[in-house]
Amino acid sequence: MAVALVASVTSVLISTHVRAQKPATTAPAQVTNLLTQMDTAANNRNVQDVVGLFADNFTHSDGLTRQTLKEALNNLWKRYPNLKYRTELKSWKPAGRGVQADTITYITGTQTDGDREFKLNSTLEASQVIENQKIVRQDILNERSQITSGTNPPELKINLPEQVRAGQEFTFDAIVQEPLGDDLLVGAALEEPVKPEGYLNVTTANLEALPAGGIFKVGKAPQNTANQWLSAVVVRHDGITMVTQRLKIIGTR
């Protein structure tokens, strides 16, 4: 059975949340206006308006360009035509000729594949530099996506550090929270480097029988500092759950 990864495409939109007491009321108009325009354009699936909020020469921590951003959004909205976006401002501060805004975006929606419906819930934290009502730099700080399907999808608890050092071992567990009874679990754990191609290509997973309780893996971070997407897929007769989280890789001491 193949299950498509989704986290790779949820990262293409902004998210913001300010640490000031009331950031939305104290932030410059260019920040609040841009976030409102972004949510409106994304909720209307207007890819030209979304891309138009990014500067021609903008840079992205994952290597995205305006063109790959546009392609990723079109692919995502084709699969999930009713996504809803809500962005909150977390903090802001002056940055050179513009403003640095830290945000969090909540993304929800459904996809129908045959007679099965898949529900998507994602959160994306990002930091962006805004100049002249355009995003000139965006860095993804954290992200988590969950896809569920069926009448009783497994409830998973994910154990994964937010960051590890290059070359360091880490544990990745997806623990089923409710009693299993006689249920047979199948699933898989996946690890992918975060790169522009991952936003455009669908990854599949070959599911195997799981030991009772879920997925328990030990991984090793790459020697470089390329972030990774870690995913767990767990399936039983009455439901499917897939969770993807970003693992940040930092330099060695």
pLDDT band of 211, cuts 50, 70, 90:
confident
Residue 200 is predicted with a pLDDT of: 64
Q: Is the dihedral of CA 48, 51, 56, 62 positive or negative?
A: negative
| 62 token code pair | 């994952």
State the burial class of residue 5 (Cβ atoms within 10 Å of its Cβ: 0-12, 13-18, 19+): buried
- For the cut 80, the answer to whether the pLDDT of residue 115 exceeds it is yes
Residue 246 is predicted with a pLDDT of: 95
Q: What is the pLDDT of residues 184-206, one digit of tens each?
A: 899 999 999 998 777 766 677 78
Residue whose C-alpha is closest to residue 56's, from 70, 42, 43, 45: 70
Those residues with Cβ within 8 angstroms of residue 28's Cβ, 6 or more apart along the chain or in another chain? 92, 99
Q: What is the pLDDT of residues 66-98, one digit of tens each?
A: 999 999 999 999 989 999 999 999 999 999 899
Residue 228 is predicted with a pLDDT of: 94
Q: What is the pLDDT of residues 238-251, one digit of tens each?
A: 999 999 999 999 98
Residue 6 is predicted with a pLDDT of: 45
Q: Evaluate whether 221 touches 168 at the Cβ level (below 8 Å).
A: yes
Indicate the average pLDDT of the chain.
87
Q: What is the pLDDT of residues 130-174, one digit of tens each?
A: 999 999 999 999 999 999 999 999 999 999 999 999 999 999 999
- For the cut 60, the answer to whether the pLDDT of residue 9 exceeds it is no
pTM given for the model: 0.86
Residue 85 is predicted with a pLDDT of: 97
Residue 7, φ and ψ in degrees, nearest 5: -60, -30
Residue 253 is predicted with a pLDDT of: 61
Q: What percent of the chain has pLDDT over 90?
A: 69
Residue 24 is predicted with a pLDDT of: 67
pLDDT band of 25, cuts 50, 70, 90:
confident
